Amino acid sequence: MQKQQAFAYLAELERASIVLGLGRAKKFLKALGRPEQRFRSIHVGGTKGKGSTAALLESILRKAGYRTALYTSPHLVAFNERIQVNGKKISDKKLVELVSGLKRIKEKKKLVLTHFEFITALAFKYFAEQRVDFAVIEVGMGGRLDATNVVMPCASVITNIEREHTQYLGNTIEKIAREKAGIIKPCVPLVTAERNPKILTIFKKTCREKNSKFVAVKKPYAGKISLLGGFQRMNAALAVAAVEELRLQGFQISEKAIREGLAHAKWPGRFEIVRRNPPVILDCCHTPGAARVCANAFKEIFPRKKAVLVIGVSSDKNIPGIAQELAPIACAVVATEAEIRAMPAGRIAREFSKSGIGVVIVSGVKNAVKEGVALAGGNGIVLVAGSCFVAGEALESLGMR
């Protein structure tokens, strides 16, 4: 199988419907020799901040001398970003080899798999082959029925809960919380930064039922971190709390490793300044809560300033809520569409127009970024936001693969 064929096969799988459940993933992993049982893991779920928290955790563990793996989704530019060992993305050669091998096993066993189930098994197979000590695994969607929930972690982390993917997870915050709480395993500690009393009640009840320790993180981390924005300090505090649970289990992780891990972690596209003149910021905020966090970070770092907002969101997102949060920090809006799962730019434009802001519609993220930079001129600030797909295309348009 060639590279083009491998990626075409993954794209073919991705066009199929999302179907939650663990049965198919378990059968496939059994056929692969149970690779998920050959490394330790930390399972990270939640609505926003789970990718950042996972990246911070991986960085700390690597600084502590462990051979680490990181599994996240979606990617910004290249699929390989999702599967990393010791901070290095899986190579095209290895990815093609694994896709080819796993495809043969899947067809021999006559298994029907979703895209996420296939790539999760691929990642676990790769991590097992690479003999990693720890894999930090980000939940794809929800938790209870997510393909990643086959792991038995050393610690579970849930960042926070917000209404999302209601067609799959339920139409109330309580139902969504129960799905997210599905990653809590028997006798495995849960660390969370959630503050909603109703949700915390659900988490505590689940922990009692499973004899699992419950740890609530309430204060942000006060030391140096590499990721911008005050919101990342709570993600850092979550990472440190999870590390403390590992230390209680006997794993050697020094204070120096914690400090250096947090100071050198990398997580692209999360309030990341990718250009200085004019400043261009990328943020993958895709929910109203994430947009609020992005807006607060902007006001924190650029006080009394406003941004030229280049925005595109996925078709299933809450654009009224996102517009309500981002409009106050925008002086102009460029509405656009990513190539994948895009909401029509006209619908985005209508929401922002309600705030009285000047809005233009530009086809294609690359052209939209150019328009944003032109509108910003020499003294303005460009904020590209709305989804990882938009951030990824923006990175490519800026020549920063």
- Rounded to an integer, the average pLDDT of 133-141 is 97
Sequence ranges of the domains in the chain:
3-264, 272-397
Question: pLDDT band for position 340 (50/70/90)?
Answer: confident
DSSP character string of 41-98: EEEEE-SSSHHHHHHHHHHHHHHTT--EEEE-SS-SS-GGGGEEETTEEPPHHHHHHH
Q: How many residues does the chain have?
A: 401
pLDDT of residue 397: 86
Is the bond into 320 cis (omega within 30 degrees of 0)?
Answer: no
Share of the chain above pLDDT 90, in %: 81
> Per-residue b/e over 369-380, b at no fewer than 16 CB within 10 Å?
bbbbbebbeeeb
Cα–Cα distance measured from residue 113 to residue 116, given in angstroms and rounded to the nearest whole number: 8
Which CATH code for domain 272-397? 3.90.190.20
- Rounded to an integer, the average pLDDT of 207-215 is 98
- Rounded to an integer, the average pLDDT of 236-243 is 98
pLDDT in tens, 286-317: 889 899 999 999 999 999 999 999 999 998 89
Residue 314: both structure tokens together: 């996925």
Helix 319-326 vs helix 345-353: crossing angle, to nearest 10: 50
Beta strands in 117-271 (DSSP E): 134-138, 155-158, 190-192, 214-216
Amino acid at residue number 171: N
Q: Which CATH class, in words, describes the domain spanning 3-264?
A: alpha beta
Helix (H, G, I), strand (E, B) or coil at 222: coil
Whole-prediction pTM: 0.90
pLDDT of residue 16: 74
